[in-house]
């Protein structure tokens, strides 16, 4: 597609509920990132994929967070047993491979845990 | 811990003035520096990147990099109300294994351009 597409745009979850957030990167982009952005803060790195390989998951805050990209295109970020502190905007970004040139962000999913 | 620091603002400038946004970073081993613009409720949008000391110009935007002093700045000439947004500075570090791919972001500076 023309841009990075994320769905849903908004998600309200009850505490303890599992959620799945989807990212559809720009076609042909090798690199895919997930970031978490709390209100008034800059994006914080969660995890990175190069094609289907998850090369860095050092930013995932707990083992309740899990990400996959099984065929090297669409990615899903799953959060199990959501907590209030998980409320944030989850941003997906994709790039052609060379970090040198930055990457393109999607519109994000705003998750609110109540 | 690699850190990127920005003044959170708000920075308020009149229309037509030059807006100057600053960013400092904690480690000399950084390679590339990025400025993203983020409108309220929207996703970050890449404005410019710079990796060599000096100035890089693109239209009304100029990025300035001083690696010795560990700062990078963004100048916006002839500021317009449509430039009102949060500006995020991001840094890419190369680690010893060459395996770092992520950008580290500052908290952003809120710019308001008054008509």
Q: Do A102 and B107 touch (CB under 8 A)?
A: no
What size, in residues, is chain A? Answer: 114
pLDDT in tens, B67-107: 999 999 999 999 999 999 999 999 988 776 666 778 899 99
Q: Write b or e for each residue in A47-57: b if 16 or more Cβ atoms lie within 10 A of its Cβ, otherwise e.
A: bbbeeeebebe
| Cα B94 to Cα B4: distance, rounded to the nearest angstrom | 15
What size, in residues, is chain B? Answer: 115
Checking if the pLDDT of B30 tops 80, the result is no
Contact B72, B33 (CB under 8 A): yes
pLDDT in tens, A12-34: 999 999 999 999 999 999 999 99
- Does A59 lie at the interface with B, CB-CB under 8 angstroms? yes
Q: Which residues of A touch B4 (CB under 8 A)?
A: 42
Of B36, B51, B108, the CB nearest to A100: B51
Nearest-Cα distance to chain A for B69, in Å, is 21
Of B45, B92, B108, the CB nearest to A99: B92
Token pair for B109 = 């500076």
């Amino acid at each position: 597609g023309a841009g990075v597409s994320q769905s849903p745009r908004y998600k309200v979850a009850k505490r303890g509920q599992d959620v799945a957030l989807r990212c559809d990167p720009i076609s042909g982009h090798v690199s895919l990132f997930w970031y978490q952005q709390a209100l008034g803060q800059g994006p914080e790195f969660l995890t990175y994929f190069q094609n289907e390989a998850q090369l860095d998951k050092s930013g995932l805050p707990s083992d309740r967070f899990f990400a996959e990209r099984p065929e090297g295109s669409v990615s899903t970020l799953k959060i199990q047993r959501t907590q209030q502190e998980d409320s944030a905007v989850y941003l997906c970004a994709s790039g052609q491979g060379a970090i040198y040139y930055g990457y393109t962000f999607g519109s994000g999913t705003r998750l609110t845990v109540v | 811990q690699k850190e990127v620091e920005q003044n959170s603002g708000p920075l308020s400038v009149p229309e037509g003035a030059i807006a100057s946004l600053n960013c400092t970073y904690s480690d000399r081993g950084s390679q590339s520096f990025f400025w993203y613009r983020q409108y309220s409720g929207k996703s970050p949008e890449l404005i410019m990147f710079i990796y060599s000391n000096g100035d890089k110009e693109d239209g009304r935007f100029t990025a300035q990099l001083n690696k010795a002093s560990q700062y990078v700045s963004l100048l916006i000439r002839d500021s317009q109300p449509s430039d009102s947004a949060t500006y995020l500075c991001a840094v890419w570090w190369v680690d010893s294994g060459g395996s770092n791919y992520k950008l580290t972001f500052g908290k952003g500076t809120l710019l308001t351009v008054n008509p």
